[in-house]
Structure 1
Amino acid sequence: MADASGFSLVQAVILLGAATVAVPLFRRLGLGSVLGYLAAGLAVGPFGLGLIDNPETLLHTAELGVVMFLFIIGLEMRPSKLWALRRQIFGLGAAQVVTCGILLTLVAMAAGVSFPVATVGAMGFVLSSTAVIMQLLKEQGDTASPQGQRAISILLFEDLAIVPLLALVALWGTLSSPADLNSEPVWQAAAIAVTGFAALLVAGHWLLDPFFKIIARSGAREVLTAAALLVVLGSAVFMHSVGLSMAMGAFVAGVLLAESNFRHQLEADIEPFRGILLGLFFLSVGMSLNLRIVINEWHLVLGGVVIFMLVKAIGIYAIARLTRATHATAMHRTALFAQGGEFAFVLYAAALAAGIFDVRASAIMSAIVILSMALTPIVLIAQAQMRRRAPTAVDLDGIDAAEDLRGRVLFIGFGRFAQVASQGLLARSVELSVIENNVEMIHAAANFGFKIHYGDGTRLDVLRASGAEMAEVILVCVDDPAVADHIVELCQAEFPMTKLYVRSFDRGHSLRLINAGVEFQIRETFESALVFGQAVLTELGFDEEQARDAIDEVRERDKERVELELIGGLEGGRKMFRGNTEAPEPAPLFKTRTS
């Protein structure tokens, strides 16, 4: 059952079993799937239980996971969007790579390492793990956020940086050893790389979409999947053949297909392969960690991990702050990028082949990179915990704090609900005071002409400064039910003559507000959902009167049910609902007005 490389079906079962056990466990513990894969690989690898003794073979196969991952990312990056990120790619990305590379090189040279070895070791560590960072961004749902886009821009520049770094390694190897008459000049290699990149762009722009249209006409789903794999792997192999990275080839292919009509189909076809192979990549990296080297050279390995991550973190934070990132954003980017990455293995292997690294140096540097990759999820978790515990400093530049406000109506919270609710009041020139503690929301509202003051509605001093005592009505429109309850309690105790209108979250929250005696409460989605349902009934052929009567019946039945629950008849309300319809009980969505 073994193939030519010695990798057998039994070993595949071992890997799948280890991943199936470790990944859910680590995710349950909040450590993320990446660390689970790395731990599983270490456990079954040659330096763990020894169930698999050829991680290098698996690593070459699993690198396809990174290739397909970059293709999926490329599909999400339309050319226009990528062009808009050009300054971040070649500005922010270059600044981070160059700054961290210089700092780490100086640190390595201070430890007595020669300049070529220090530079190659440092630059390998500078190239952060595309696979780890993209997986973490995806798990956190940050790939489409501005912060995620900046991270992707930096990763793209790092992917590009591997090309000149490999050329530099080849040049040093040539200078340090007798000239090889069969080797090509550096300028020739660069020209081939540029020509190949241009050829892929031209072929992708003019040929890919017509190619998939021809395949789609066959009507065979499996052929379209095969064609998608052909494009991804073919682009990766072609780019590798001209001296560029396979991941870059797959990314370019994805970008070229981002505007294609087949984009979503391709993404669906590639996704299963991408997920499995990317998991195998992390497993193989975990198996590659040489515990003997770590034990025998523990002072160099652990010292290298701590010092390299610390120095790189300082460089990343400095660049982030110089580019006007907030402290929180800079700290998050630092935690995300402070590790080494998979491109380090490629660079160190080239350095070993060129004679710049010896076997011991290559093993030590590889162990440093692997341990740093394993520490990344833990560093992110620690950074998130510190951010939660630390008092957040709010940047109020250009924002006025609540002070001496005198509106007839006071809004507490100004999200989507409050913005809509304010329109009628503004149309009749009602004087409003609005406080909000979300700085981004205040800036966004200012773009549309709203004057929002910064203030925390849970604090009595802020409420007094906001004019709560003199306001005729206070509108509590915050997202959190517990916060809303606290504001209601505070206002009723300190401003009993002011009427309270409160946005409710669900039926239980509505009941609490009614019992508290607020003048009016309404569930945030109930009325809009009723209008939505009425429109559907009309579309299905019911006349306007029938649709309106049906919705009025739902509204009245819900009101009666709330009244029954208020007098302790919760079970009676449920029986009434079941008596009116055989449909299952719906999720609470509505708030009623008090009578």
Structure 2
Amino acid sequence: MDGHGYDLLVKDALIFLFAAGVVVPVFRYLRLPAVVGFMLAGVALGPYALGSLTHVQPLLEYVSVSDPEAAAPFAELGILFLLFLLGLEFSFEKLWSLRRAVFGAGGLQSALSAAAIGAVVYFAGLPAEAAIICGLALALSSTAIVMQILIEQKRASRPVGRAALSVLLFQDILVAPILIFVGFMSVGENANVSAALLEAAVKGFLAIALIMLIGRFALRPMFRLAAMMGGRDFLMALTLLTVVGAATITATAGLSLALGAFLAGLLLGETEFKHQTEVDLEPFKGLLLGVFFMTVGMALDLPSLVTRPGLILGGLVALLFVKFLIVFAACRLFAGDRLLALEAAFLLAPAGEFAFVVIAAAGSAGVLDADVSGMLAAVAGLSMLLIPVLGRVGAFAVSRLATREPSGALDADFSELKGHVIIAGFGRVGQAVAHILDTEEADIVALERSVVRLAKERKDGWQVFLGDAARPEILRSAGADGARLFVVTVDDVAAAEAMVRSFRTLRPDVPIVARARDHEHAARLREAGANHVIPDAIESGLQMAGRALAEFGYDAETVRSRLASERDEQYSVALGGA
């Protein structure tokens, strides 16, 4: 590397670190999301803003990024780690439960969006080839930004997060066919597109099969060896090898890098090293993703926006409107209720990072001229900049609609969901249970009989539905057939007993944890089929006794020992006769 190139690399690295360590925290202080902060920093420090003024004031060269392409490899790593960590939070069982949404909602959204956008561009005057490329480029959404927003809000494993991920996963699968199609459009009529697509499908299948084989038979032994021999240093090296290696395998087969990283996360999530890996990678993921978001801001073509604002803003509005309607329809049909579909539509309506890849490939192939490429890039960049804002608008709209229209019945079908927890009653006790389970990424379906409480908790993002958990049809809709645990938190004696009996009739094999008012209520719940009963009176008395002992000067260890002994005795008395 020559001295000048090295100086540029160091200078650009300092600017990226300055943005991450100083500029973005200032935006966060102003209550802007980190994603928006990084993108705005990219716009300001990029080649189309301060970077374009270096010929007027040479000193600006030291505070602007002259070559954003130099950051591309680091930005790509950020996306890989995001998808890898997302894969860690899922499982093959969860992924299989999303198959209908992946191929149904994802397939319908991608096809209709590409066709609709292509048709609009064609009737606006572009040739058919260019119109098809525009449709394919803008049909896909931003995996990096959408999933990062949902992860920050701790909603990636909630219904809207699963729906968004389903659509985005299908879009990732389309990467190879779209790039092949773009390449063949510049070759001519004699090219055998179908043969190339078939070859790509075979390569993709073999790549995924290879990753699965390595993950199933080699990953756990390798991590155990690294843990025994070298501790965290070797584990970090092996984790990086797993992420980059899986991404390289899928990229070699023509699939996206992100898909390989996601599969690697799924496989490692099945091992005992899942939580340690999450902790080790979290800081690196945030910084590298910040670099990616800055490169998105730098790609925003400000000169095109200034010279043709009407055309670009009109294209932006048309893109958001068309994709919003299509995403809403696709998610409503295949992924969930209309409130979920509405919020997903706001998140997925903008374009994604893949648009820049398609635009660049089409420009190199001569299918798109420079003016059209610049306008497309400006529309895509502006739409991505709006994703955090649109996400908040969607969440607000859903909360208002949920408040106005609490459903009179269970308005979503979870009958195919597996491994989740059903909570009957979502008052203070139910919410406390849900908060703790949510930190462990458990899927939760809550049933509540109060319309007022339902509206409030839905507004806060919980998956709560109006329904009586004593009714078998409601329990089936909540996914009783696949539930891992049933928790009853209502304090109504008769209602709680009826709920336990109904669920036990449907699922004799699933544990039931129930809240009881007193000893007598606890005995009745045990008789109805509850495995574990927690009497309010006992726990309240123990907590008060513990506070009293502490006030008398007993140390914490003695208090815990006395309470444990008394708890065992009280529960033996309360539940022994049941």
TM-score, with normalisation over the residues of structure 2? 0.70
Q: Identical aligned pairs, as a percentage?
A: 35
Instruction: Output the aligned Cα RMSD.
Output: 3.9
Q: Distance in 2 between matches of 1:532 and 1:209?
A: 44
Give the equivalent residue in structure 1 for 2:509: none
1:212 aligns to 2:213 (yes or no): no
Matching residue's letter, 2:99: R
The answer to whether the Cα contact below 8 Å between 1:77 and 1:258 also exists between their aligned partners in 2 is yes
Which structure would you say has the larger Rg? Answer: 1
1:204–1:529 distance in 2 versus 1, CA, 3 Å? same
Match in the other structure for 1:289 = 300
Counterpart residue number, 2:182: 169
- Measured against aligned partners, the alpha-carbon deviations of 1:109-163 in whole angstroms (never above 9, x if no partner) come to 1211222211221222121100110111012221111221111111111111112
- Match among 318, 333, 354 for residue 365 of structure 2: 354
Are 1:52 and 2:53 counterparts? no
SS at match of 1:8: helix
Matched, 1:255 2:256: no
Shift of the 4–231 alpha-carbon distance from structure 1 to 2, 3 Å rule, reads: farther
Within a 5 Å distance, the mapping from 1:76-475 to structure 2 comes to 76-175=89-188, 185-323=196-334, 325-386=336-397, 392-397=404-409, 415=427, 417=429, 436-439=451-454, 440=464, 442-443=466-467, 445-447=469-471
Counterpart-to-counterpart distance in 1, 2:564 and 2:271: 45
Contact 1:75 1:255 in 2 (8 A): yes
Q: Select between 319-328 and 275-284 the one with higher mean Cα deviation.
A: 319-328
Are the counterparts in 1 of residues 106 and 166 from structure 2 also a CA contact under 8 Å?
yes
Distance in structure 2 (CA, Å) of the matches to 1:542 and 1:366:
63
Q: Deviations over 1:250-304 (max 9, x none)?
A: 1111111111111112222222221111010001111121211222232322121
Is 1:73 the equivalent of 2:91?
Answer: no
Distance of 1:386 and 1:419 partners within structure 2:
23
Alpha-carbon distance change, 442 to 383 in structure 1, aligned in 2, over 3 angstroms: closer
Per the normalisation by structure 1, the TM-score is 0.68
Whether the aligned pair in 1 keeps the contact of 2:118 and 2:132 (CA below 8 Å) is: yes
Shift in alpha-carbon separation, 1:68–1:7, aligned structure 2, 3 A:
farther
Which residue of 2 is the match for residue 16 of structure 1?
Answer: 17
Cα contact 1:128–1:338 (8 A) shared by 2: yes
Is the CA contact (8 Å cut-off) linking 1:229 and 1:270 kept in structure 2?
Answer: no
Match of 1:32 in 2: 33
Do 2:78 and 2:287's aligned partners in 1 also have CA atoms closer than 8 Å?
A: yes
The alpha-carbon deviation at position 249 of structure 1 amounts to 0.9
Judging changes above 3 Å, is the alpha-carbon distance between structure 1 residues 95 and 185 closer, same or farther for their aligned structure 2 residues? closer
Letter in 2 for 1:96: Q
Q: Which structure features the higher share of helix residues?
A: 2
SS of residue paired to 2:271: coil
**Deviations 1:379-436 (CA, angstroms, capped at 9, x unpaired):** 233344455666622222479xxxxxxxxxxxxx96264999xxxxxxxxxxxxx755
Tell me how far 1:362 sits from its aligned partner: 1.8
Name the SS of the counterpart of 2:269 in structure 1: coil
SS of equivalent to 2:467: helix
Contact kept, 8 Å, 1:414 with 1:441, in 2: the verdict is no
For 2:405, the aligned partner's letter is: A
Output the CA distance in 2 between the equivalents of 1:171 and 1:18.
40
Partners in 1 of 2:309 and 2:181 — Cα distance? 30
Separation of aligned partners in 2, 1:528 and 1:334: 49
Counterpart amino acid of residue 17 in structure 1: F
Change (3 A) 1:174 1:194: farther
Give the C-alpha shift of residue 538 in structure 1: 11
Query: Which residue is 2:42 aligned to?
Result: 41
Structure 1 residues 290 and 72, CA, compared in 2 at 3 Å: closer, same or farther? same
Amino acid at match of 2:339: A
Task: Give the corresponding residue for 1:571.
Answer: none
Distance 1:306 1:265 in 2: 44
Cα distance change of structure 1 residues 26 and 122 upon mapping to structure 2, 3 Å threshold: farther
Q: Is the 8 A contact 1:15 1:44 kept in 2?
A: no
Q: Alpha-carbon deviation of 1:107?
A: 1.2
> Residue 271 of structure 2 aligns to which amino acid in structure 1?
S
Q: 2: distance between equivalents of 1:34 and 1:311? A: 25
Q: CA offset at residue 5 of structure 1?
A: 6.7
Residues 287 and 444 of structure 1, relative CA distance in 2, 3 Å threshold: farther
Q: Is the 8 A contact 1:72 1:267 kept in 2?
A: yes
Unaligned runs of 5+ in 2: 52-63, 412-424, 433-448, 455-463, 476-535, 568-578
1:216–1:224 CA contact under 8 A, matched in 2? yes
What do residues 6-54 of structure 1 show as CA deviations (whole Å, max 9, x unaligned)? 6433322222222334433433444311111100011111112221110
2:101 maps to a residue whose letter is: Q
Aligned pair in 2 of structure 1 residues 398, 161: CA closer, same or farther (>3 Å)?
closer
